Structure 1
Amino acid sequence: MTDFIRFFIPIYFIVFFAVCFLGISIAVAKKIGKSPNVLPKDDSSYALVGSYFKLILVVLFVYTVLSLVFPDSGAYFTIHFLKRPLFQCVGVGLMLLAFIWVVIAQFQMRDSWRIGIDDQMKTELITTGLFQYSRNPIFFGMTLSLVGFFFAFPTVIAFFLLIIGSILMQIQIRLEEEHLLRQHGSVYLTYKKRVGRMLSLY
């Protein structure tokens, strides 16, 4: 199981980012005529959050690849009481579920998908599909993938990536909520009261 996890995790994240960031970015860019990556490059606090998020993604990628190349290096950071086949199976299951969930959510967002906040173009407020159960299904899926990563590969570094990544996503979510409220007003307020930020269980 350990060897499977060692190969599965870097391949998973490579496919995840290729499909859920690069692939969807290219598809949306062709439809809207510009890049959907609208994260600012100034010295604002919003740009800083974006920079830290990119840094976390780089650290995650480098860490998983290094763990594949140097399998014994993770032994120093492993949380041994969590390194159980059951936890690893749950972790892999959560990661696969998260990938499918994010792909579906992105498909349902269609042309409204952005990396960041688009102040130049009004996007449609999506409230159907997975958005009936989560106002932020993509961020929920990304969080779920990090939880699964920690279960499958229980190390101190994976834990900190989960915590820091989750904090950055929660900050980004709140920035986007303010933007959506400005764009959609009472329609968004009604939606916000009906559906939970991460997940609504009826």
Structure 2
Amino acid sequence: MPQIYNEYVKGLMLITETAQGVVEFTRLYLAVFYTFVALFYTSKIILAKKSTGQEQVFPGQRFCTSWWNHLTFRLFRVTIWMVCVVRLFYPSTDAYLGMFTSMMNVPIIFAGNILLTCGFLTTIIVHLSMGSQWRSGVDPQGPNSLITSGFFRFSRNPMFVAIGVSQLGFFLALPSIFSLACLIIGIVSLYRQALVEEEHLAQTHPNDYARYSASTRRWF
């Protein structure tokens, strides 16, 4: 452990003073950002369920593909949030994340913050555009109709694309083995979940979804 920390300190010494300032700003920003994300999703689900009287989260039957996707994604979301908060108060935590110190420069970290923020803002916009039809997972009773306007004109899974962009931003904002693992696992989970949800839509709206999928890309 001490050797790992010493190597990390040597790497930091090679970073310019300006880059160090951006690193410290991003340390605070990531902790605040993911705390806000956690509060946003929690409050949205609670308020939506209270106002509609309907469940908003549908992970699926235990051990099915959708269930594993939800479990994996939630686990990594919580882990990311906890790591970002812990490293705010204990900066030395970075030494154990496998930091890519060669990537800790202003352009890369700044680009990461931009992608992270834009991805999440786009996710919120897509949420709002879906209105009462928004669900997390596959609702066995829905949806009543397909949404093909707005962002859905350009992508069959605009929310997943936005989340993927945000996850890429996290990797660039905190370039490390930890964030790279989160990126890879997150993208795989999103891809697997997209297949599950598309299969459900193809079954519930066979004709409409066939026409929609033929004219609209899965991603972008």
Runs (4 or more) in structure 1 with deviation over 4 Å come to none
Instruction: Note if 1:80 corresponds to 2:101.
Output: yes
Alignment of 1:176-187 (within 5 A): 176-187=197-208
1:162 aligns to 2:183 (yes or no): yes
Q: In the alignment, what sits opposite 1:190?
A: 211
Higher Cα Rg, which structure? 2
Distance in 1 separating the partners of 2:144 and 2:24: 44
Segments of structure 1 that go 5 or more residues without pairing to the other structure are none
Q: Which moves more between the two structures, 35-44 or 122-131?
A: 35-44
Q: TM-score, normalised by structure 2?
A: 0.84
- Deviation (angstroms), 1:18: 2.1
Per the alignment, residue 70 of structure 1 pairs with 90
Aligned pair count reads: 198
After superposition, where does 1:28-177 map in structure 2 within 5 Å?
Answer: 28-40=48-60, 42-76=62-96, 77-177=98-198
- The amino acid that maps onto 2:110 is C
Partner of 2:27: 6
TM-score with structure 1 setting the length: 0.91
- Partners of 2:153 and 2:216 within 8 A in 1: yes
Q: Check whether the contact 2:170–2:179 (CA below 8 A) recurs between aligned residues.
A: yes
Question: CA shift at 1:178, angstroms?
Answer: 0.2
- Per-residue deviation, 1:100: 1.4
Partners of 1:37 and 1:26 lie apart in 2 by: 10
CA RMSD after TM alignment: 1.6
Q: Deviations over 1:116-167 (max 9, x none)?
A: 1000243431111111112111111111111001111101100000000110
For 2:185 and 2:137, the matched residues in 1 are separated by: 18
Q: Is the 8 A contact 1:28 1:113 kept in 2?
A: no
Write the deviation string for residues 2-55 of structure 1: whole angstroms up to 9, x where unpaired. Answer: 111000002111212322x22332343245321201113523333222222221
Relative to structure 1, the CA distance from residue 95 to residue 112 in structure 2 (aligned partners, 3 Å threshold; closer, same or farther) is same
Separation (CA, whole Å) in 2 of partners of 1:46 and 1:37: 11
Shift of 1:181: 0.6
Cα distance between partner residues in 1 of 2:107 and 2:23: 12
Q: Is the 8 A contact 1:31 1:111 kept in 2?
A: no
Q: Among the aligned pairs, what percent are the same residue?
A: 27
Structure 2 spans left out of the alignment, 5+ residues: 1-21
Tell me, in whole angstroms, the C-alpha distance in 2 between the residues paired with 1:155 and 1:123. 43
CA contact (8 A) 1:28 1:110 kept: no
Following TM superposition, by how much is the alpha carbon of 1:65 offset from its aligned partner in structure 2, in angstroms? 1.4
Do 2:115 and 2:168's aligned partners in 1 also have CA atoms closer than 8 Å? yes
